[in-house]
Amino acid sequence: MEKKIFSGVQPTGNLHLGNYLGAIKNFVELNNDIKNDCIFCVVDLHAITVKQDPNILKNNTRETVATFIASGIDPKKSIIFNQSKVKAHSEAAWILSCTARTGWLSRMTQFKEKAGKDKEKASVGLYSYPVLMAADILLYDTTHVPVGDDQKQHLELCRDIAQKFNNDFKVEDFFKVPEPLIQKEFSRIMSLKDGTKKMSKSELSDLSRINLTDNADQIINKIKKAKTDPLPMPTSKDELENRPEAKNLIEIYSSLSGLTLEKSVIEFSGKNFSKFKESLSQVLVDKIQPISKEIKKLLSEKSFLDKILKEGCEKADKIASNKMKKIHEIMGF
Ligand code: AMP
Ligand code: TRP
């Protein structure tokens, strides 16, 4: 079956190993299968749910495109565009916000985490963020959405919105109900400083993450300083359950080297962490360094990146405005 793939990444800078292993690596594989139609969106409207400096946002948008391409996404085989340039996204988000129920949104854990203690000060956009995400997905008759584990709840909401809209307006199958594509293993990469916290762009300490623009020295230094525990390397998979930092580092190693978790555990069983960290640094440098070099090269070719976005926007706009026309008919506008 032909799959229609859609996914989005926020242009909020510091794209990291979690973004790569949880999402972008999967985008590349899906894009390499000629049976798939892929759309990868730089979700700049999502980025402004928290304060952004306009000039930095513009650069981060280009950097996200550069990261897609440097990681192996072929712009000739997929549509790469930025959300704000395709007007149907904001319009569909409004319409779908009248389908979504406040009770559904109030259960979203990402809002609770991002809004923190003072919810009253969070933007309305941060609250309705998942509705815009549903609009992104549903405008393109998407069948599959590759994301990291943290987006699972948002995708369930998207499915609920699609189903309720189809029921409310008696338009069976108008919005396709999309399937999440979340990797079974290694779909949640944790901070290098705290194995119980997600690796994140917004974490203050740069030592908590491997950025996709890091060079070999930075990677080696970060792995050297990564938190571990006083015990030797685990001797079984079960032992990992109570050792979050060891678990995260071994998972990163497994994911990058294409080994099962069991095999990686056996490889380093009972050894000390410093030996393991050397091997981990090596696989990281082998994988990240070429990407990092390519990102830097592409960033000096601004007009090339802008052209990719412009062409992508034109293609996306055709699909989305066509769907929007049908939505207008359904709504009685
Ligand atoms: P964002 O940077 O929030 O726009 O996320 C872009 C993609 O990366 C989404 O599919 C996320 O689920 C994924 N992602 C972000 N952080 C992580 C992480 N620490 N581990 C795995 N996937 C992640
Ligand atoms: N919310 C996603 C994130 O933070 C980004 C996103 C926006 C997205 N629109 C999307 C992901 C549509 C998949 C499909 O990671």
Average pLDDT over residues 34-56: 97
| Distance of alpha carbon 185 from alpha carbon 43, whole angstroms | 26
Rounded distance from Cα 331 to ligand 1 centre (Å): 34
Rounded distance from Cα 93 to ligand 2 centre (Å): 13
Model confidence pLDDT, tens digit, residues 58-104: 999 999 999 999 999 999 999 999 999 999 999 999 999 999 999 99
Higher pLDDT, 186 or 181: 181
For residue 200, give the ligand nearest its CA.
1
Q: Check if 9 has its Cβ closer than 6 Å to any atom of ligand 1.
A: yes
Q: Check if 188 has its Cβ closer than 6 Å to any atom of ligand 1.
A: yes
Cβ neighbour number for residue 324 with a 10 Å cutoff? 20
Is the confidence at residue 163, as pLDDT, over 70?
A: yes
Cβ neighbour number for residue 325 with a 10 Å cutoff? 12
Q: What are the start-end ranges of the E strands in 69-212? A: 78-82, 144-146, 179-181
Nearest CA to ligand 2 atom 9: 133
Model confidence pLDDT, tens digit, residues 122-131: 999 999 999 9
Is the confidence at residue 147, as pLDDT, over 70?
A: yes
Residue 191 CA, chain-centre distance (Å), reads: 16
Q: Check if 252 has its Cβ closer than 6 Å to any atom of ligand 1.
A: no
Q: How many residues does the chain have?
A: 333
Active site residue 198: yes
- Amino acid letter for position 152: K
Please provide the average confidence, as pLDDT, over all residues in the chain.
97
Rounded distance from Cα 113 to ligand 2 centre (Å): 16
pLDDT of the residue at 266: 97
pLDDT of the residue at 1: 64
Rounded distance from Cα 289 to ligand 2 centre (Å): 26
pLDDT of the residue at 194: 97
pLDDT of the residue at 8: 98
Could you tell me the pLDDT band of residue 120, with boundaries at 50, 70 and 90?
Answer: very high
Model confidence pLDDT, tens digit, residues 185-239: 888 999 999 999 999 999 999 999 999 999 999 999 999 999 999 999 999 999 9
> N- to C-terminal Cα distance for the chain?
35
Model confidence pLDDT, tens digit, residues 240-251: 999 999 999 999
Rounded distance from Cα 273 to ligand 2 centre (Å): 35
Rounded distance from Cα 107 to ligand 2 centre (Å): 18
Could you tell me the pLDDT band of residue 143, with boundaries at 50, 70 and 90?
Answer: very high
For residue 13, give the ligand nearest its CA.
1
Q: Check if 26 has its Cβ closer than 6 Å to any atom of ligand 1.
A: no
| % pLDDT > 90, the chain | 97
Is the confidence at residue 170, as pLDDT, over 70?
A: yes
Lining residues, ligand 2, CB within 6 Å: 6-8, 10, 43, 46, 133, 136-137, 145, 147, 151, 154
Is the confidence at residue 323, as pLDDT, over 90?
A: yes
Pick the catalytic residue: 58, 114, 176, 193? 114
Please provide the DSSP assignment of 79-113 as one string. Answer: EEEEGGGSTHHHHHHHHHHTTS-HHHHHT-HHHHH
Pick the catalytic residue: 3, 176, 197, 201? 201
How big is the CA angle at 138 (ends 31 and 212), to the nearest 5 degrees?
Answer: 40
Could you tell me the pLDDT band of residue 2, with boundaries at 50, 70 and 90?
Answer: confident
Is the confidence at residue 44, as pLDDT, over 70?
A: yes
CA 199 to ligand 1: nearest atom = 19
Nearest CA to ligand 1 atom 14: 19
Active site residue 326: no
Active site residue 51: no
CA 43 to ligand 1: nearest atom = 4
